[in-house]
Amino acid sequence: MATFKEFRNNVKPNWCPGCGDFSVQAAIQRAAANVGLEPEQLAVISGIGCSGRISGYINAYGLHGIHGRALPIAQGVKLANRELTVIASGGDGDGFAIGMGHTVHAIRRNLDITYIVMDNQIYGLTKGQTSPRSAEGFKTKSTPEGSIESTLSPLEIALSAGATFVAQSFSSDLKQLTSLIEQGLQHKGFSLINVFSPCVTFNKINTYDWFKEHIVNLDQFPDYDPTNRVAAMNKIMETGGMLTGLIYQNKERKSYEDLAVGFKPEGIAKQDIKLSRDEFEKLLTEFK
Amino acid sequence: MISQLSWKIGGQQGEGVESTDRIFSTALNRLGYYLYGYRHFSSRIKGGHTNNKIRISTKPIRAISDDLDILVAFDQESIDLNAHELRPGGVVVADAKFSPTIPEGVQARLFAVPITSIAEELGTSLMKNMVASGASWALLGLSMDVFNKAVEEEFGRKGPAIVEKNIEAVRRGAEFVLEQAGGPLEEFKLADADGKQKLFMIGNEAMALGTLAAGCRLMSAYPITPASEIMEWLIKKLPKFGGTVVQTEDEIAAVTMAIGANYAGVRTMTASAGPGLSLMMEAIGLSGMTETPLVIVDTQRGGPSTGLPTKQEQSDINALINGTHGEIPKVVIAPSTIEECFYDMIEGFNISEQYQVPVIIATDLQLSLGKQTCEALEYDKIVIDRGKLVTGELPPTEENRLFKRYEFTEDGVSPRVIPGVKHGIHHVTGVEHDQEGRPSESAINRKKMMDKRLNKLNDLRITDAVKVDAPNANPDLLVIAMGSTGGTIEEARERLSAEGISTNRIMVRQMHPFPSELLKPHLDAAKKVIVLENNATGQLANLIKLNVGSHDKIRNLLKYDGTPFLPSEIHNACKELN
Ligand SMILES: Cc1ncc(C[n+]2csc(CCOP(=O)(O)OP(=O)(O)O)c2C)c(N)n1
Ligand code: SF4
Ligand SMILES: [Mg+2]
Has residue B199 got a pLDDT over 70? yes
Of A10, A45, A275, the CB nearest to B400: A10
pLDDT digits (tens, 9 = 90+) for B17-52: 888 888 999 999 999 999 999 988 876 666 789 999
pLDDT at A191: 98
Distances in Å between the alpha carbon of B465 and those of A16, B356, B460, B518? 52, 19, 9, 8
- Counting ligands in written order, the one closest to the CA of A126 is 1
- Cis bond leading into B419, ω under 30°? no
Look at A81 and B215 and tell me if their CB atoms are within 8 Å: no
State how far the Cα of B50 lies from the Cα of B293, in Å rounded to an integer. Answer: 40
Amino acid letter, B205: E
Kindly identify which residue of chain A lies nearest to residue B427, measuring between CA atoms: A62
Q: Which of B61, B90, B110, B92 is nearest to B187 (CA)?
A: B90
pLDDT digits (tens, 9 = 90+) for B339-377: 999 999 999 999 999 999 999 999 999 999 999 999 999
Has residue B84 got a pLDDT over 80? yes
Distances in Å between the alpha carbon of B516 and those of B335, B456, B466? 18, 17, 10
Write A259-265 long-range contacts (CB < 8 A, 24+): A260/B239, A260/B244, A261/B239, A261/B244, A262/B238, A262/B239, A262/B240, A262/B241, A262/B242, A262/B243, A262/B244, A263/A82, A263/B239, A263/B242, A263/B244, A264/B242, A265/A82
Q: Is the CB of A22 under 6 A from ligand 1?
A: no
* Cβ neighbours of B35 in A, within 8 Å: none
* Cβ neighbours of B427 in A, within 8 Å: 55-56, 62-64
Distance A18 CA to ligand 3 centre (A): 15
pLDDT at B41: 80
Look at B249 and A105 and tell me if their CB atoms are within 8 Å: yes
CATH of B200-381, one of 3.40.50.1700, 3.40.50.1980, 3.40.50.970, 3.30.540.10: 3.40.50.970
pLDDT-derived band at B229, boundaries 50, 70, 90: very high
Q: How far is CA B505 from the centre of its chain?
A: 20
Centre a 10 Å sphere on the Cβ of residue B518 and count the other Cβ atoms it contains: 17
pLDDT at B47: 74
Q: E strands within chain A?
A: 42-46, 61-64, 85-91, 114-119, 122-123, 129-130, 165-170, 191-196, 216-217, 243-249
- CA-based R_g, chain A, Å: 20
Amino acid letter, A159: L
- Close Cβ partners of B300 (under 8 Å, ≥ 6 residues apart): B273, B274, B313, B314, B315, B316, B362, B363, B364, B365, B483
CATH topology for B4-197? Pyruvate-ferredoxin Oxidoreductase; domain 3 (3.40.920)
Of A81, A281, A288, the CB nearest to B419: A81
Contact between residue A154 and residue A96 where contact means Cβ atoms under 8 Å apart: yes
H helices present in B182-238, as ranges: 203-213, 228-237
B425-452 burial string, b = 16+ CB within 10 Å, else e?
A: bbbbbbbebbbbbbbbeeeebeeebeeb
Has residue B418 got a pLDDT over 70? yes
CATH topology for A4-287? Rossmann fold (3.40.50)
**What's the rounded mean pLDDT across residues B231-245?**
97
Q: How far is CA B418 from the centre of its chain?
A: 33
* Cβ neighbours of A43 in B, within 8 Å: 264, 419
Crossing angle between the packed helical segments B251-263 and A70-80, to the nearest 10 degrees: 50
Each domain of chain B, given as residue ranges in start order, spans 4-197, 200-381, 388-463, 466-577
Least confident of A127-136, B125-134, B291-300, B521-530: B125-134
With H, G, I as helix, E, B as strand and everything else as coil, classify residue A129. Answer: strand
Q: Is the CB of A51 under 6 A from ligand 1?
A: yes
With H, G, I as helix, E, B as strand and everything else as coil, classify residue B344. Answer: helix
Backbone torsion region of residue B16, taken as left when φ is above 0, otherwise alpha when ψ lies between -120 and 50, otherwise beta = left
* Cβ neighbours of A87 in B, within 8 Å: none
Contact between residue B173 and residue B135 where contact means Cβ atoms under 8 Å apart: yes
Distance B362 CA to ligand 1 centre (A): 32
CATH topology for B466-577? Rossmann fold (3.40.50)
Each domain of chain A, given as residue ranges in start order, spans 4-287
- CA-based R_g, chain B, Å: 26
* Cβ neighbours of A56 in B, within 8 Å: 427, 429, 438-439
Pocket of ligand 2 (CB under 6 A): A 15-16, 19, 21, 50, 120, 124, 199-202
Of A72, A77, A275, the CB nearest to B212: A275
Has residue B196 got a pLDDT over 90? no
Q: Which of B295, B238, B244, B266 is nearest to A269 (CA)?
A: B266
Average pLDDT value over all residues in chain B: 96
Centre a 10 Å sphere on the Cβ of residue A255 and count the other Cβ atoms it contains: 20
Has residue B300 got a pLDDT over 70? yes
**What's the rounded mean pLDDT across residues B93-106?**
95
Kindly identify which residue of chain A lies nearest to residue B25, measuring between CA atoms: A288
- Cis bond leading into B304, ω under 30°? yes
Contact between residue B218 and residue B258 where contact means Cβ atoms under 8 Å apart: yes
Least confident of A163-172, B393-402, B471-480, B516-525: B393-402
Has residue B117 got a pLDDT over 90? yes
Q: How far is A80 from chain B (nearest CA, A)?
A: 5
Digit-by-digit pLDDT tens for chain A (288 residues) are 899 999 999 999 999 999 999 999 999 999 999 999 999 999 999 999 999 999 999 999 999 999 999 999 999 999 999 999 999 999 999 999 999 999 999 999 999 999 999 999 999 999 999 999 999 999 999 999 999 999 999 999 999 999 999 999 999 999 999 999 999 999 999 999 999 999 999 999 999 999 999 999 999 999 999 999 999 999 999 999 999 999 999 999 999 999 999 898 999 999 999 999 999 999 999 999
Q: How far is B268 from chain A (nearest CA, A)?
A: 9
Distances in Å between the alpha carbon of B19 and those of A283, B16, B55, B548? 22, 5, 17, 47
Top mutation candidate among A199, A204, A208 for ligand 2, by most atoms within 8 Å of CB:
A199
Kindly identify which residue of chain A lies nearest to residue B27, measuring between CA atoms: A288
* Count, residues in chain A: 288
More confident residue, A196 or B16: A196
Dihedral angle, C-alpha B534, B536, B540, B541, nearest 10 °:
120
Distance B300 CA to ligand 3 centre (A): 39
- The pLDDT > 70 percentage for chain B reads 99
Q: Which of A117, A106, A238 is nearest to A163 (CA)?
A: A106
With H, G, I as helix, E, B as strand and everything else as coil, classify residue B365. Answer: helix
Q: Which of B82, B96, B15, B31 is nearest to B53 (CA)?
A: B82
Q: B200-381: same fold as B4-197?
A: no
State how far the Cα of B465 lies from the Cα of B512, in Å rounded to an integer. Answer: 10
Q: How far is CA B503 from the centre of its chain?
A: 25
Contact between residue A216 and residue A150 where contact means Cβ atoms under 8 Å apart: no
Top mutation candidate among A12, A14, A21 for ligand 2, by most atoms within 8 Å of CB:
A21
State how far the Cα of B263 lies from the Cα of A52, in Å rounded to an integer. Answer: 18
Look at B420 and A81 and tell me if their CB atoms are within 8 Å: yes
Q: Which of B352, B256, B341 is nearest to B299 (CA)?
A: B341
Amino acid letter, A25: Q
Distance A172 CA to ligand 2 centre (A): 15
pLDDT digits (tens, 9 = 90+) for B443-495: 999 999 999 999 999 999 999 999 999 999 999 999 999 999 999 999 999 99
Distance A49 CA to ligand 3 centre (A): 7
Has residue B307 got a pLDDT over 70? yes
Top mutation candidate among A12, A14, A15, A197 for ligand 2, by most atoms within 8 Å of CB:
A15
pLDDT at B45: 65
pLDDT at B40: 86
